[in-house]
Chain A
Amino acid sequence: MKRIFPILAVLTGAFLSYALYLALLVAPTEQTMGDVQRIFYYHVPSAWTAFLLFAINFVASVVYLVRRNPAVDAIAVTSAEVGVVFCTIVLITGPLWARPVWGIWWTWDIRLTSTLVLWLMYVAYLILRRFSTGGQTPVIAATVAVFAALDVPLVYFSIRLFRTQHPQPVIGGGGSIDPRMLHVLLMNWYAFLCLAALMFWSRYRLEILQQQLDEAEGLESLEMRSPR
């Protein structure tokens, strides 16, 4: 597996470069917004990737609460962390698109606010994982994750259920998109998924190693305490 990783990393890098080329140079320019609309090719795939990772975190957290398997807990923490990375991109690229198009950086609209709340909840989850040292930390974190995941459908459906300033969904939401734009959007999403998979793999290995080290250190301290 160690030999495959660098090959996959190079392939993913090439795919991301190709997707960037498509987004900047090949996709047609939108008539009303102009070039700034191209932010959409990073904003939307990042959001979809973050939602997918938070969904994995939800499933892993539920499974952990039932089975208490440390490997499943590692999947949960990994998906939350990588999901926060992509959600951060969503929250930064969104205002950078809104400023020239809406004339404002931010508005307390349901879509924007629920996305910010989602990010804050998963950041809180990661802080809990990082600084809590008790044996019950994975259980508490899994419970927090189950509640945090409830915000994902709210974010997704908020633009259908409420009146909002955010644009309607381009796929399955009544909106229309040029097929060339859709192609570029999907290529960028696939490239982001490849990158997310590599990040997930690296972070998961790190978490498993950390668990093994903690276990070894625990055994070590027990050996030191016990009389010979």
Chain B
Amino acid sequence: MNFLYIAYAAAWLILIGYLANLALRYEKLRKEINNLGRETSLRN
């Protein structure tokens, strides 16, 4: 029974971990886009 719960928990951990990783990458990309926009507007 323990192996079953460990397997299901591991699967969910991987899926949630990947979703969290995607969210972090989105946030990082959003900041980079904002910075680029700010730099462009400052120069112009």
The residues in B between 1 and 44 inclusive whose CB is less than 8 angstroms from any CB of A are: 1, 3-4, 6-8, 10-11, 14-15, 18-19, 22, 25-26, 29, 32-33, 36, 39-40
**A210 with B22, Cβ < 8 A, contacts A38-B4, A85-B15, A96-B3 known:** no
| Cross-chain contact B7 with A213 (CB below 8 angstroms) | no
Among A58-66, A87-95, A113-121, A134-142, the stretch in contact with B: A87-95
Q: Which residues of B contact A24 (CB under 8 A)?
A: 8
Within the complex, what minimum Cβ distance (angstroms) separates A226 from chain B? 13
Q: Give the number of residues in A that approach B within 8 Å (Cβ atoms).
A: 29
**Apart from A43-B7, A96-B3, A209-B33, 19 more pairs, CB < 8 Å:** A20-B8, A36-B1, A39-B4, A85-B14, A85-B18, A89-B10, A89-B11, A92-B14, A96-B6, A97-B3, A99-B3, A199-B22, A202-B26, A206-B25, A213-B29, A213-B33, A213-B36, A220-B36, A220-B39
Q: Which residues of B contact A (CB under 8 A)?
A: 1, 3-4, 6-8, 10-11, 14-15, 18-19, 22, 25-26, 29, 32-33, 36, 39-40
Q: Which residues of A contact B (CB under 8 A)?
A: 20, 24, 35-36, 38-39, 42-43, 46, 85, 88-89, 92-93, 96-97, 99-100, 195, 199, 202-203, 206, 209-210, 213, 216-217, 220
